[in-house]
A and B are shown apart, each in its own frame.
Chain A
Amino acid sequence: MNPINKTTLHPYSRSVSIIGVGCSPFMNTLDDPETAGLTEGELFGYAAYKAMEDAGIRPKDVDYFFHGEANPFYCSNYITPNIQVSEWFGMRGKGSIHHSEACCTGYLALEEAVNAVASGKYNVVLSGCVEFGDAIVDGTKPSFMRRKFDFFEFQESLKWIYDNTYTREMMCGPNIHQDDGAEWYKAKYGLTDEQMDDTLIHMAINSRRGAVLDPLAISKKTYEEIAKENGFDDVMEYMKSFYNPMMSGNLRASGLELKCDGAAACIVCPTEMVSEFTDKKGIEVLGIGNATREANQPHVEVIGTQEATRQVYELTGVKPEEIDILYANDFFITSQLIAAEIAGYLPEGEGWKYFIDGRTAFDGDKPINTNGGRCSFGHAHAASGMADIYEAVMQMRGECGARQVKKLPKTAFLRGFGGAQNLASIILRTAE
């Protein structure tokens, strides 16, 4: 198989911690008269200011901000979207930059902020992401006048994340990745189609149980409730019925993202300065591993995750058994299994059984995607990774209420994925 070039990470010049997080509801804004017409400045500004409030700071305390959006030109009609939101949260005139890595944007948003502080250039940096994945502008009217971004138009726009030299023309890369993880896993560990189907269905059920307890999640009903509404006493029977059809070779509708609108943000500062701003413990960013693998390459997610994860474990010295909670960007729900095994959070070749046994739900002993992930929390593409960082921080502080995991997590692993494709493996730890 094609060799992948490897990178050795070096320690940050100074330790950096997250001191504030903010997140909007993930929603289809046009479906509710109270939210229809929300704009980029309002959503980003809300998440950004919530993060500042959480950190106990005001906009004047923030030195610089990063802005992430996956598809700013098509969905917002902006090329420099950081400028268009820059006066909506009290930071007029401060420096900023926009970045865009599709569905990995929110994870790399943390990377940008941490690097900016670790370098010594800034002390307090805000990093936020916004996406209108369901309500887009047409560019000829004010930004509150929006229209639905339907599934077929969205699918058509997805081609822009793929290489237009060979990959689109060879027609396979954009279409195999939905199933590559599942096919790779089945072949490697000898699972049948039915075993993989059962695993992915349980994954969806587990994730949904956490999402319905998160007021920010787009999903409001468990699959058990939905099954009953449709006349099924047995949720598995419902999940295997035509109500939950096979959409790809391995993924049912319950295993695909719920695209939506949303924003999220965080504030970082040097760990040694945390107490100057907040009484809460900082959440230290121990390290972030990165890899990219273009979609024409085989096993993009698997090989990219392996490399990013190798880097971050090598840098931090953290052992897989020290990970208390895991997040995986799962717009294809299979990612929960792939990321958790490569991170060593679940045992290799055995992880699928943990999903079937419900052990990965928020109240299990191996919690994964406690907010519901992309298939239940929702997928506001750029903002999703930052929403996972929000959730990880809230869990690590013990502030998640009904969906709080049983054992207070000290160390979290987050696996970013997206953009055909970027991979990021992040380790967070509650600062002492």
Chain B
Amino acid sequence: MGVKLERVVKTYYDNLEAGKITGRKCLECGAVEWPPVLVCNTCGCADMEWIEMSGKGKLLQFVMPATITKKDEMKDIKPYVFGVVEVEEGPAVNAMVRGINKKNREEILAKLPVDVHMTIIPRDGYSTVIFDLDEE
């Protein structure tokens, strides 16, 4: 075992193209890295295995887009917010979350944390992951 020179990033994006959202689990301490990286940031062990993510998460905090944070290239995924999401396997990330707008902002804020799930969306030549609010 020990560190291996491997294409973690390419594997992750290839898996997205195949419809699978994957992370890496530490064989020593069990911590999960998502999105995946080479070595475990919890215990420092380099022995990691690929796992398929459950896709489930909780939205902990969010902010609406505004003048300097709206981007033309994000128009196709409106309405969205910029959120902090903790996924079921443990890691937390900053992530785009769809399904919140000015009308339901206050209602969702009052309910936080709320359940969200991962969605693979196409971009220009690759795919990425955003989150959608779970149906109530």
Contact = CB atoms under 8 A, between A and B. Distances in A.
10 contacts: A1-B92, A169-B126, A171-B71, A171-B96, A171-B128, A179-B63, A248-B69, A249-B65, A297-B93, A297-B94
Given A178-B69, A179-B82, A170 B63 contact: no
Given A3-B42, A5-B41, A170-B130, A249 B96 contact: no
Contacts of A178: 68-69
B74 to A, nearest CB: 6
Contact residue range for chain B? 20 to 34
A140 interface: no
A245 B129 CA distance: 32
A295 B20 CA distance: 24
B95 A175 contact: no
B61 interface: yes
Contacts of B130: 170-171
A247 B67 CA distance: 5
B9 interface: yes
Interface residues of A, number: 32
6 closest residue pairs by CB, A with B: A176-B82, A249-B63, A175-B69, A179-B63, A172-B94, A298-B84
B93 A247 contact: no
A332 B45 CA distance: 37
A184 B112 CA distance: 13
A175 to B, nearest CB: 4
Contacts of B62: 183
A153 to B, nearest CB: 14
A2 interface: yes
Given A172-B95, A298-B92, A183 B67 contact: no
Contacts of A176: 63, 69, 82-84, 94
B35 A166 contact: yes
B123 A170 contact: no
B66 interface: yes
B67 A248 contact: yes
Contact of A183 (B61, B66, B69, B128): B61
B19 interface: no
A296 B94 contact: yes
* Main DSSP-derived SS at the A contact region: loop
Contact of B93 (A187, A248, A296): A296
- The listed residue with most A CB atoms (<10 A of its CB), out of B41, B66, B95, B123, is B66
B86 interface: yes
A298 B61 CA distance: 10
Nearest to B74: A171
Interface in B117-133: 123, 126, 128-130
Nearest to B33: A2
A170 B94 contact: yes
Interface string A223-234: 000000000000
A178 B82 CA distance: 11
A246 B67 contact: yes
Contacts of A246: 66-67
Contacts of A179: 63, 69, 82
Contacts of A299: 84
A420 to B, nearest CB: 11
A176 B74 CA distance: 14
Contact of A170 (B71, B92, B95): B95
B69 A2 contact: no
A213 to B, nearest CB: 29
Contacts of A295: 94
Given A3-B42, A187-B112, 12 more contacts: A2-B41, A2-B91, A165-B35, A170-B94, A171-B96, A175-B69, A178-B68, A245-B67, A247-B67, A249-B69, A298-B61, A298-B93
